[in-house]
Amino acid sequence: MSGNYYPPFSLRISENLLEKIKYLAAQNKRSANKEIEFILEQHIRKYEEANGAIPSASNQ
């Protein structure tokens, strides 16, 4: 498979948190899925700035 393939990942979160994510997503003109991806990327970027790169399967 070529291109941007993202393997499915199931996430269980509270209804309240999901509603807040949907609110943020609407404010940012993104889907809830893309908003979660954006938030995770930001968190990881901040972590790596403070602690160094996290090894991943594609980096090894």
Q: What is the mean pLDDT of each run of 10 residues along the chain (60 residues)?
A: 78 97 98 97 97 80
Residue 5 maps to a domain: no
The domain of 35 spans 15-51
Does residue 58 lie in a domain region? Answer: no
Read off the pLDDT of residues 9-25 as tens digits, 9 standing for 90 and up: 999 999 999 999 999 99
Instruction: Identify whether 43 is part of a domain.
Output: yes
Taking CA atoms, 19 is separated from 9, 32, 37, 48, 54, in Å, by 19, 9, 16, 29, 30
Q: Is residue 42 part of a domain?
A: yes
Task: Tell me how many domains the chain contains.
Answer: 1
* Residue 8 DSSP SS3: coil
Looking at the domain assignment, is residue 1 inside a domain?
no
CB distance 24 to 35 below 8 Å: yes
The reply to whether 36 falls in a domain is yes
**Predicted TM-score of the model (pTM):** 0.81
